[in-house]
Chain A
Amino acid sequence: MTLSTAVEISYLFSSVLFVIGLKRLQSPATARRGNQLAAVAMFIAICATLLGNQIAEWNTILIGIAVGGIIGYWAAKTVQMTEMPELVGIFNGFGGAASALVAGAELLRLQSLNVTSPLGEGLSIVLSCLIGTVTFSGSFVAFGKLKGIVSGNPITFPLQKTLNAGLFIGLLVLGGAIMGLFQLGNLTTLNTFYIFTIAALSLGILLVIPIGGADMPVVISLLNSYSGLAASAAGFVISSNVLIISGALVGASGLILTLIMCKAMNRSLTNVAFGAFGGESIIGTQGDDSEKIARPVDAEGAAMILAYAQSVVVVPGYGLAVAQAQHELRKVVDNLEEKGVDVKYAIHPVAGRMPGHMNVLLAEADVSYDKLFDLDEINDDFDRTDVVLVVGANDVVNPEAHNPQSVIAGMPILDVDKAKSVIVMKRSLSTGFAGIDNPLFYMDHTLMLFGDAKETMNDLVREVREA
C-alpha cells in the first residue's frame, strides 16, 4: 500500500467518524461522545495530511497550528454561554475565510508555476473564494450586530437591491474572466482576482446590513451553512473528498437550522433576506388600553398559586437570559418539586438568540434536560396544566397568532392560555419584537407579576419555600 493510499483511507475513516459523531448528537445522552468522536476524526485527518505530504517548509505550518490552537482554546474557555451566538458567528467567518485563503494560495501557487489549469479547477477556485469571502465579511457584520457594534436596525439605502444585484453580476463576470485567463495561463489573472475578492467582501457586508438584529438567528444559521459550502468548494480546489464530505455535512446542518428558525419566526427565507424587517426598535401599534385590565399579583400570591398546583409549566424567554436569572428560576423549581409539584419547561425555538440557545442556558443552570420540552412535544399538555409561569417571553405566547388578521398570524406559539391559570413575569406590559399587544396579559385567568426578573425570582424562591 502506498503512502497516498494510506492517507486516502485515513480520510475515508475520518469522514465516516464525522457522520457517526453527528448521528450521536441525536440524543443528549450520547452527544458528548459524538462530539469527541468528531474531534478524533479531525485529529486523524490532520495527522494523515502532515504525514502524507512532502512538507517544503515546516515553520509556517507549525506557527499557524500553534497560534490558531491557542486562540481557539482561549475562546472556548472564556466565552459566556449568553455569548454563544457571537462565538458561532465569528467561527462561521473564520471557516469561510480559511476556505477562501486556500483557494487564493492555490491560485498563487499555480500562477508561480506558470501552468495553465483546466476549467474545472478555475471554477472551484472562483467558487471557494466567492462563498468563503461572502461568509467571512457577512459573519463579521452579523457579529457586530449581535455585539451592538453595528446598529441592530436594518441599514437600508436607495437602490440597495439594484447595487447588490449589480455586484453579483459583476462577480459572475469577473469569475468567468478569471477562469478564462487562468486557462490561458495569463498572469493578469492576479489583479482580476484581487478585484474579485474585494467585490465579494463588499457583497457579504451589503447582504447582511439590511437584516435586523432580531433576525440574526436565521442569518447565523445560514452563514453556518455557507461556511460548510465554502469548505466543500475548497475540497474541489484541492480534489479532497474529506473536505467535500465534511463541508456538505455542515452545509446541510446549517440549512436545516435556517429553515427551522424561519418556520418558528413565521417568515420565509426571502423575507428575512430582503425584507429589512426585525429591527430592535419597534413602533408599536398599541391597541386601546382603556377597557383592558391586567391583574397584578405579588411574589407571595404567585408563590401560593405555584406551590399548591399539581403541574406547572415554565416558559422561559430571552428576558430571563438578559436578567441572568436562570439559576434563580432553577431554585424556584427545585423548591416546587420538593413540595411535590410536577414541573416542566416549554422551550420555543426562538426563545434564545440562536437555535437551542435557551436549552444551553438552562443546562448551565443545572436543569435536567429531560424536563425541557419543545413546542410540538408540550403544546397538547397545556389544557391539563394547572399553572404556566411565563418568564420574560412575549410574542411566543401571544394567542393573536391564531387570529388570521394579526401580523403574527400563523406563527407557531406555545398555547399557554389553555392552562387553568397563567402567571406572566415581566417588567411591564410593553410589546415584544413583533410590536403588537398581547391579549394573554388581559385574560381572566392571567396574573401579571411585574418587576425585574432576577429580583422577582429571588422573592419567589423565598416565598415558595415558605408557602
Chain B
Amino acid sequence: MSEMLVGIYVFVLASLAGREVITKVPPTLHTPLMSGANAISGISIVGALVVSAQVDSGLAQWLGGLAIALAMVNVVGGFMVTDRMLEMFKKH
C-alpha cells in the first residue's frame, strides 16, 4: 500500500475519532475548544522544523523560518490563552 493511501487511512480514522470526542464537548467550552484547536493546528511546526532542518540557505530557509515562527505563535498563544480561559471556569 502506498504511503499516500496509509495517510488517507490515518486521516479518515482520526477525523472520526475527532468527531466522537468533540460532539460531546458542551457549548460552555466551545470558545476554549476553538482556541485549543488553534494551538493543536500549530502542529505544522513539526513540518516546518523537518523542512528547515534540511536547508541551510536561500528562500526555502526563510520560508521555513517564517513557518516556524507563525506555527509557534499558535502553539504558545493558543495553549496559554486557552489555559487563561479555563482557569476562569469555576464552580462555587
Complex CA gap A171/B55 in Å reads 28
Q: B53 contacts A35, CB within 8 Å? A: no
Residue A253 interfacial (CB < 8 Å): yes
Residues from chain B with a CB closer than 8 A to the CB of A64 are 48, 52, 64-69, 72
How far in angstroms is the closest Cβ of chain B from A318?
Answer: 14
Residues from chain A with a CB closer than 8 A to the CB of B46 are 11, 45-46, 49, 240, 242-243
Q: A72 contacts B31, CB within 8 Å? A: no
Q: B70 contacts A25, CB within 8 Å? A: no
Q: B72 contacts A65, CB within 8 Å? A: yes
Q: A360 contacts B81, CB within 8 Å? A: no
Residues from chain A with a CB closer than 8 A to the CB of B23 are 256
Mark out the residues of chain B between 37 and 52 whose CB falls within 8 Å of any chain A CB in the assembled complex.
37-52
Residues from chain B with a CB closer than 8 A to the CB of A236 are 4, 7
Residues from chain B with a CB closer than 8 A to the CB of A251 are 15, 18
How far in angstroms is the closest Cβ of chain B from A72?
Answer: 3
A-B contact count (CB 8 A): 384
How far in angstroms is the closest Cβ of chain A from B65?
Answer: 4
Beta-carbon contacts of A90-121 to B below 8 Å, as 1s and 0s?
Answer: 01101101110110111011001000000010
Residues from chain B with a CB closer than 8 A to the CB of A95 are 38, 41-42, 44, 70-71, 74
Complex CA gap A253/B18 in Å reads 7
Complex CA gap A233/B84 in Å reads 30
Complex CA gap A246/B40 in Å reads 6
Candidates B16, B34, B52; contact of A61 at CB < 8 Å:
B52
Q: B40 contacts A38, CB within 8 Å? A: yes
Q: Is the interface of B mostly helix, strand, loop or mixed?
A: helix
Complex CA gap A388/B26 in Å reads 23
Q: A97 contacts B3, CB within 8 Å? A: no
Q: A22 contacts B18, CB within 8 Å? A: yes
Complex CA gap A102/B42 in Å reads 12
Known: A35-B82, A56-B54, A252-B15. A91 touches B77 (CB 8 A): yes
Residues of B within 8 A of A (CB): 2-4, 7, 10-12, 14-19, 21-92
Shortest beta-carbon contacts, A-B, top 4: A68-B72, A356-B30, A64-B68, A72-B76
| 16 other A-B residue contacts (CB within 8 Å) besides A42-B39, A64-B67 | A27-B26, A35-B83, A53-B49, A64-B64, A95-B44, A102-B67, A109-B51, A227-B41, A228-B41, A240-B47, A248-B10, A356-B27, A356-B29, A369-B28, A369-B89, A370-B91
